[in-house]
Structure 1
């Protein structure tokens, strides 16, 4: 069978690929692709031992703030609870995502990404699998990208009409996540002994800042040890907020030359440091490498990327720069645009490395 074009690969849902073709070679990892542990080996990895942060205490308790700072320094991510969203509400969010991806293809294809409307410097918005354009091995996943905030800028024509409560649930989740994001930005500044509004003024208080949602569906795979749900990657965002599946574990983070499993905490939301926060903090906070292993079961997740105004120059704040920690990153605009053009095949080629200043 002839290889499918990138467009065909993009628009064919993975469950249909599995039904019609099994697991094609374009999804199989190459020998030179270092995805570390995945599939069945996932359960053999050590568990990430990261403190759980109580958001209700974060801005009022010095002890909780110190724990937050320690967690970010150690793991580049934290799990947050008491964030104003109940477990039942988070299950509703997961539920509408699962219901959308369970729709027949002829329903989902109304929201397909259109290659002709895609620019080379931005992710696709709509339903599909965007990495087919960029990577020699395709992630074993179906995706949907939607602009989630600010709501007046959202293209609601691309928001699924089924399930019928999708828009209501996602609007509410987006609004509550923005409140969560603003609190986290203030806490991150406080943890560095900066004015609490430093990061918020950069990324939380500008009408041109956006939050892009990536809805992920990870179908079952009979050879999960030979494919990967989401290849090793960093995020080009300032902050990434992740809602994990509440049943299927698979997310991993890379630390000290080893992969660690991220535990499932059904009522928690994950915060990951993005490249742009690494730059702005002058490397105090780091943007981690993470992946999601394939599984014999079905799973979903939702990642929300905080993307600063592309016209705003980013670079290290003055306060984290001193004799002991000189400026370590260049100043630049539109990091997100460059990031999507640059999407790397491996960690050594990550964009964040190219903006570092070597002394």
Structure 2
């Protein structure tokens, strides 16, 4: 059954997971139990073929090492759709501040956090994402989702004023993430051999930030922190705020943990990039699992080009003799298609020619 379009643009209120945990539960409420999911498959870290690729930005920038690192980047985008980026140029201070502000926000009493709760008809604010029915299975996480850039898109009444440095840290962090995104689009364009100037300008674009909190869970093997999904932006930039792995990516039928690396940013391809590369770069399925004794936090930046930018297979991909696999639409139309689709139809199917 198709859902009404506006349902995907908002979320209905559900219990706060952090508060549930504070009740010292021994078992998980039935609405969170996901026995329909695969059991959590972990891969042996010593298996190097199943280790998420590592890309070094300083090697991409340096003319002597650029060719080799570009080949690594191109392979990572094709074979995995996800990689860890090191030496990306964002200061440790900016990452540390964002981590600290996220922790301090989720540590606030529930009543205080609810000052910035989602309002009816919007996903922005503190709560849960994409809960569209009272029967829906729930994820083991709480989140706050905010539009960050351009500045005029911000809904400031939903930007927490407590902790006191939250707004300032998020402002700085979002600009830093845009800097990484703009640089990455240039290198991806080089890997795909497509014109980068238009991309560079377009990625002054739209940036949305979601901060996730995954509390400890008495039955971690029976819940999902985040159910398997594919991201819709061009890519997402994830800061893992701890040392406990929780993010998993599907690779060759295995769920592979993305091991947290201090100071690294995880880059996850989204469907806009898959479309622009005409299917060459992959937007991977990924999910988050939870832990029995440890909480986990992450900060995810969703990176989109400007609303007027045309999303479709790059002309260079088509000129090389490939047939276009996807339609060309503006980013604005792309959002509308995502919101207005029937949920049982995979979004990418609606974009195929």
Identify whether the pair has TM-score above 0.5, normalized to the shorter chain. yes
Q: How much has 1:71 moved relative to structure 2?
A: 1.4
Instruction: Tell me by how many angstroms 1:344 deviates.
Output: 4.6
- Report what 1:350 is aligned to: 346
Is the Cα–Cα contact under 8 Å of residues 249 and 263 in structure 1 kept in the other structure?
A: yes
Q: Aligned-pair distance for 1:42?
A: 4.0
Does residue 287 of the first structure (1) align with residue 283 of the second (2)? yes
Task: Work out which of the residue numbers 299, 302, 306 in structure 1 matches 2:299.
Answer: 302
2 CA distance for matches of 1:7 and 1:204?
Answer: 32
* Residues 236 and 335, structure 1, Cα contact 8 Å, conserved in 2: no
Contact 2:203 2:306 in 1 (8 A): no
Contact residue 241 and residue 269 of structure 1 kept, 8 A: yes
What secondary structure is seen at the aligned counterpart in 2 of 1:132? coil
Residue matched to 2:104:
99
Task: Identify which of 5, 15, 18 aligns with 1:15.
Answer: 18
Mapped contact 2:212–2:298 kept (Cα < 8 A): yes
Q: Which moved more, 1:265-274 or 1:300-309?
A: 300-309
RMSD: 2.3
Tell me if the contact between 2:193 and 2:316 (Cα under 8 Å) persists in the aligned partners: no
Q: Which moved more, 1:139-148 or 1:306-315?
A: 306-315
- Which residue pairs with 2:3 in the alignment? none
2:95 to 72, 78, 90: 90
Whole-Å separation in 2 of the counterparts to 1:149 and 1:19: 35
Residue 214 (structure 1) shift: 0.8
Cα distance change on mapping 1:343 and 1:55 into 2, 3 Å: farther
Partner SS state of residue 311, structure 2 = coil
SS at match of 1:133: coil
Structure 2 residue runs without a partner (length 5+): 1-10
Q: Which moved more, 1:174-183 or 1:239-248?
A: 239-248
Residue 252 of structure 2: which of 244, 249, 256 is its match?
A: 256
Task: Describe how 1:1-359 pairs up with structure 2 within 5 A.
Answer: 7-9=12-14, 12-19=15-22, 23-31=28-36, 34=37, 36-38=38-40, 42=42, 48-59=50-61, 60=63, 61-115=66-120, 117-118=121-122, 124-133=123-132, 136-201=136-201, 203-205=202-204, 209-296=205-292, 297-322=294-319, 325-333=322-330, 334-342=333-341, 344=343, 349-357=345-353
Separation of aligned partners in 1, 2:29 and 2:336: 31
Count the aligned residue pairs.
332
CA 214–221 in structure 1, closer or farther in 2 if over 3 Å, else same: same
1:8 deviates by: 3.8
CA shift at 1:53, angstroms? 1.4
Asked whether the equivalents of residues 79 and 282 of structure 2 are also in contact (C-alpha less than 8 Å), the reply is no
Deviation at 1:227, TM superposition (A): 0.3
Partner of 2:84, secondary structure, is strand
- How far apart, in 1, do the equivalents of 2:51 and 2:226 lie? 22
Give the whole-Å Cα distance in 1 for the aligned partners of 2:72 and 2:212: 30
CA distance in structure 2 between the aligned counterparts of 1:243 and 1:213, rounded to whole angstroms: 11
2:316 match: secondary structure: coil
SS at match of 1:260: strand
Moved more, 284-293 or 62-71: 62-71
Provide TM-score, normalisation by structure 1. Answer: 0.85
- List runs of 5+ in structure 1 lacking aligned partners: 1-5, 119-123
Give, in whole Å, the separation in 1 of the partners of 2:300 and 2:342. Answer: 17
Once residues 53 and 44 of structure 1 are traced to their aligned partners in structure 2, the CA distance between those partners, rounded to angstroms, is 21
